[in-house]
């Protein structure tokens, strides 16, 4: 509690009465949290383009029990000094739908650490599209299952003058054995690509971004792809390392996930560069010395 006896985590119940013009912004906030079920304040500010205004509305939504602060995130040693991490309540879902909200509520059936990471990675894709004037289109409401595989994100595309399709993404916190589990998973993804299952979702081609929290683990995954997957499919697997958000600092509320290059067998892959128009006079990629491939 603060010096006035106010509890940051459990404010007294107060029905939400929107001020002039606040309702539309409240519905927008709730929609972002339904899309990314575990979301810090800073990311909501980046989506909305404001700070003080949306924080005031968030406080009112919190007091009305339409959103709540995720219990697991309170266990962080610096929880009192970090951004609030928001989830929507069942009451918030009903309020959102009653007032015409249409964003589907994505449920992440995993523990907090995994769900939080997936939300922040997905939010960075969304913010990258917003900040770089890209269209982002989802080809399913929920992650799609194939041969026992369920990526952490539904299939989606990024586009400007060109487009790139993704089967979703995998957030790997290095909790599974590479030899036992990951090798089998990669074999099933290989069949997924060979059988062109992605075409069932309207994708012309597809990449699989894999984000992990450990440099050594990422290198092990790269070597496993190199040794177990057919060479013609090597460039479909993209890899990146990020911090474990629940232990370290929160990431910036930016499109860093598409702005910074990914690793793949044989070099790197830059999403923004791959989306640029390609002409015979364009300069070659400084990382690969070749145009990033986005063909089948």
Q: Are residues 136 and 264 in the same domain?
A: yes
Strands 39-40 and 262-264: unpaired
Q: Are residues 231 and 191 in the same domain?
A: yes
Distance CA 233, CA 240 (A): 18
Contacts of 241 (CB under 8 A, 6+ apart): 211, 212, 213, 214, 215, 218
In this prediction, residue 128 carries a pLDDT of: 96
In this prediction, residue 21 carries a pLDDT of: 73
Please check whether residue 202 lies inside any domain of the structure: yes
In this prediction, residue 55 carries a pLDDT of: 81
pLDDT in tens, the chain (296 residues): 444 444 555 666 667 666 667 898 899 999 999 999 999 988 999 998 876 667 888 888 999 999 998 877 766 666 666 778 899 999 999 999 999 999 998 877 778 888 889 999 999 999 999 999 999 999 988 888 888 888 999 999 999 989 999 999 999 887 766 667 888 888 999 999 999 999 988 898 899 999 998 898 899 999 999 999 999 999 999 999 987 766 667 888 999 999 999 999 989 999 999 998 865 544 444 344 343 444 44
Q: Are residues 269 and 216 in the same domain?
A: yes
In this prediction, residue 5 carries a pLDDT of: 44
Please check whether residue 243 lies inside any domain of the structure: yes
Strands 208-212 and 170-172: parallel
Q: Are residues 78 and 195 in the same domain?
A: no
Cβ 151 vs Cβ 186: under 8 Å = no
Q: Where are the beta strands (DSSP E) in 131-200?
A: 135-138, 156-159, 163-166, 170-172
Q: Are residues 149 and 258 in the same domain?
A: yes
Q: Are residues 44 and 180 in the same domain?
A: no
Q: Are residues 214 and 190 in the same domain?
A: yes
**Radius of gyration in angstroms for the set of CA atoms belonging to the chain, rounded to a whole number:** 21
In this prediction, residue 1 carries a pLDDT of: 46
Q: Are residues 85 and 200 in the same domain?
A: no
Please check whether residue 282 lies inside any domain of the structure: no
Q: Are residues 238 and 174 in the same domain?
A: yes
Q: Are residues 155 and 193 in the same domain?
A: yes
Q: Are residues 145 and 247 in the same domain?
A: yes
In this prediction, residue 79 carries a pLDDT of: 61
Contacts of 152 (CB under 8 A, 6+ apart): 108, 114, 118, 121, 143, 168, 169, 170, 171
Domain coverage including residue 73: 22-98
CATH number reported for the structural domain that contains residue 64 in this entry = 1.10.10.10
Q: Into how many domains does the chain fold?
A: 2
Q: Are residues 269 and 140 in the same domain?
A: yes
Buried-state track 177-206, b at ≥16 Cβ within 10 A, e below 16: ebeeebbebbeebbebbeeebbeebebebb
Length of the chain: 296
Please check whether residue 281 lies inside any domain of the structure: no
């Amino acid at each position: 509690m603060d010096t006035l006896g106010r509890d940051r985590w459990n404010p007294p119940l107060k029905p939400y009465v929107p001020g002039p013009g606040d309702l539309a912004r409240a519905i927008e906030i709730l929609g972002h949290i339904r899309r990314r079920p575990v979301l810090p304040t800073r990311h909501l500010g980046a989506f909305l383009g404001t700070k003080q205004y949306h924080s005031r509305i968030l406080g009112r939504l919190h007091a009305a029990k339409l959103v709540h602060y995720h219990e697991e995130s309170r266990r962080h040693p610096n929880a009192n000094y970090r951004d609030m991490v928001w989830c929507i309540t069942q009451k918030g879902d009903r309020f959102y739908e009653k007032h015409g909200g249409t964003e589907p509520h994505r449920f992440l059936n995993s523990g907090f650490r995994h769900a939080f990471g997936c939300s922040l990675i997905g939010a960075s894709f969304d913010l990258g599209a917003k900040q770089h004037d890209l269209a982002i289109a989802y080809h399913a409401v929920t992650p799609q299952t194939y041969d026992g595989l369920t990526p952490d994100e539904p299939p989606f595309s990024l586009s400007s003058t060109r487009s790139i399709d993704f089967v979703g993404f995998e957030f790997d916190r290095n909790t599974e054995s590479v030899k036992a589990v990951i090798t089998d998973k990669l074999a099933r993804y290989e069949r997924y690509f060979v059988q062109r299952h992605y075409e069932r979702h309207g994708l012309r081609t597809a990449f699989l971004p894999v984000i992990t929290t450990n440099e050594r683990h990422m290198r092990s995954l790269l070597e496993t792809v190199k040794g177990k997957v057919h060479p013609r499919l090597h460039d479909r697997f993209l890899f990146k390392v990020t911090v474990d958000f629940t232990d370290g600092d929160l990431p910036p509320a930016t499109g860093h996930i598409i702005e910074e290059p990914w690793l793949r067998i044989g070099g790197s892959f830059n999403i923004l560069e791959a989306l640029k128009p390609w002409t015979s006079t364009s300069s070659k990629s400084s990382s690969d010395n070749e145009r990033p491939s986005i063909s089948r």
